[in-house]
Structures are given as C-alpha cells and as structure tokens.
Amino acid sequence: MKSLLKYYHLLSIDVIFGVLAGAVMAVKITGIQPGFAWWIVLPSSVWWIYLTDHLIDGLSKKEETQNPRHHFFYKNRTLIFTLLLFLSFINIFLIVFFLPRELILFGGFAGFLVLIYLAGVKFIKTRNYVLFPKEIIVALLYTGGIWGGLFYMDREDFSYKWLIPLIAYFLVTVSNLFIYSFYEQKTDKEDKQITIFTTFEESRAKKLMLNWFVICIVYFTILIFWRIDDKIIRLALDVLAAILAIQLLLFKKSSVFSRNFRYRWVNEGAFLLPSVFLLLN
C-alpha cells in the first residue's frame, strides 16, 4: 500500500483527480456539455504537462537533484517518455475524431501557450520573479485549461457571472502552488528552481504570500456581502472558501504538516472538494 501511495505522489496522479473535480464544478456552473472526449483529453493533457515539466527538471539536474520526484523522473526517464508518447497518442486520436471544433481551436491555442511555458522552464535562466512568476503562470494555464474551453465553446451565451467563481478558483490555485513553494523551498533552492521562495528571502516571501492570502480573503469577504442569487455559484464559492481555509491552515501549521509530506496530501486533497458537485442533478 505504501508503495502505491508513493507512486501516486511521485507521478502526480492526484493532479488528474483535482482537474476532474474542478471540471465538474465548471460544467455545473456553466451548464455547458463538452462531450465525453473532453473529460479524457483535459485531465490527460494536464497530466502530460506536469509529467513533462518534472521530466525536464529531472533531466536538467540528473543525479545532482535533491528533489525526490525529479530524481525519480530522471531514473525512470525511459518509462516516463513512453508514458508521454502513449498519452499523446490517446489525446490526438480523441481530438481528431471526437472533440468539438471549438474545443480543438481553443486547445491548439492553449497548447501553444504551454509550449512557451515549457520552453521558459528549460531555457530562461533569469532570477527575476517578475519576468517569470512560475506559480502564477502555472495557475493561469491550469485555470484557463479547465474554464477557457467551456467559455469558447458557448461564447454566444457567455455570462459574466461565471467570472466570479473563475477568479476565486484562480486565487486558490495560486495559493495551492505557493504552499508547495513554501514547504519545498530547501530542495527548490538546491535544484535552482524559480519560485517565490527561491527568488526572495524567506521572510519577504512569507510576507508576499501572506499578502496574497489577504487578497483572497478580501475577495471572498466582498462576495459574502454581494447578493448572488445563483445557488450553484454560491455553492462554488463556499467550496472554494473551504479550500482557502485549508490552505491558510497549512501555512499557519507548517510544523505539523511538514512531516511525512502531509502537506501534499492535504493540499491536493482540498482540490477534490469541488467533486461535491457530482451530487447535484
């Protein structure tokens, strides 16, 4: 059992379920039905990006890496590369034969942006966080990948009220990535990763992270007093507020959650909360 959980963690399989949970919420809010292929292409594409990102990090550091995941990817690079080819084949097949035209067009644009990001990870050597704010870029790609295709697919009936939960989802996604940077700053520094905690001194990075949490809290507080009649959007905001509360707890009680990678299980587990929308008709 421990071995299975280890691979579940190293291969970022939790990302698949997190994306699906977020997708369920987005579909329930918008009422848009993207078709069965989207439910496969979306999580497998996000997983492909995560696997490729980790593989690039593993290959760039090789045996010198201090990060267990990057070391795993370097050691098993042939297997990972084979898995990436398999995912690519499945995705191309589903995209060509089953995905709606609107989602293909949006996916092509999103894929181009992802390639730019991966090229940046590989070739950009700047230590200037303003030029390459990795957590924010990844959050934009992650959030845009889930919501953007739905918006483009039914753009004629687009409702601006959908932006309310989208912004909230983006905010907690950035917080999710900041939590990882906070807990993994030691190995990130050793591997020369670009994160908020490797760019700034720890005290300043913590202040910046705390400021981000303040922005999140202010946004959710405003929405409490803003009359929102849509019950589904209200439920989404309650779920996302719960995720934010968990993230604040992780930030506050790092001494407790740093043991045995507890922070990872809790941080990713929080992103499964939107799956509660499966209970809605």
Lowest mean pLDDT among 49-63, 199-213, 221-235: 49-63
- Residue 23 pLDDT > 70, yes or no? yes
> pLDDT-based confidence at 184, cuts 50/70/90?
very high
Sequential DSSP letters for the chain: -HHHHHHHHHTTHHHHHHHHHHHHHHHHHH-----HHHHHHHHHHHHHHHHHHHHHHHHHHGGG---HHHHHHHHTHHHHHHHHHHHHHHHHHHHHHTS-HHHHHHHHHHHHHHHHHHHHHHH-----TTT--HHHHHHHHHHHHHHHHHHHHTGGG--GGGHHHHHHHHHHHHHHHHHHHHHTHHHHHHTT--SHHHHS-HHHHHHHHHHHHHHHHHHHHHHHHS----HHHHHHHHHHHHHHHHHHHHHHTHHHHTGGGHHHHHHHHHTTGGGGGGG--
- 249-273 pLDDT tens trace: 999 999 999 987 899 999 999 999 9
> pLDDT-based confidence at 86, cuts 50/70/90?
very high
Per-residue pLDDT, averaged over 72-89, amounts to 95
Q: Which structure tokens are listed for 195?
A: 């994160």
- Residue 192 pLDDT > 70, yes or no? yes
Q: What is the pTM of this model?
A: 0.94
- 24-57 pLDDT tens trace: 999 999 999 999 999 999 999 999 999 998 998 8
What share of the chain in percent tops pLDDT 90? 74
- CA dist., res. 145 & res. 253, Å (int): 31
pLDDT at position 125 is 65
For residues 216 and 171, the answer to whether their CB atoms sit within 8 Å is: yes
> pLDDT-based confidence at 126, cuts 50/70/90?
low
> pLDDT-based confidence at 67, cuts 50/70/90?
confident
Question: Which residues make Cβ contacts (< 8 Å) with residue 119, sequence separation at least 6?
Answer: none
> What sign does the CA torsion over 164, 167, 170, 175 have?
negative
pLDDT at position 1 is 61
> Taking Cα atoms as reference points, which of 102, 118, 166 lies closest to residue 140?
166
For residues 271 and 21, the answer to whether their CB atoms sit within 8 Å is: yes
- Residue 121 pLDDT > 80, yes or no? no
pLDDT at position 5 is 79
- 226-252 pLDDT tens trace: 888 899 999 999 999 999 999 999 999
- Residue 124 pLDDT > 80, yes or no? no
pLDDT at position 2 is 63
For residues 273 and 23, the answer to whether their CB atoms sit within 8 Å is: no
pLDDT at position 127 is 66
pLDDT at position 157 is 87
> What sign does the CA torsion over 157, 162, 166, 169 have?
negative
pLDDT at position 166 is 97
> Mean pLDDT across the chain, nearest whole number?
92
> Taking Cα atoms as reference points, which of 158, 166, 144, 142 lies closest to residue 32?
158
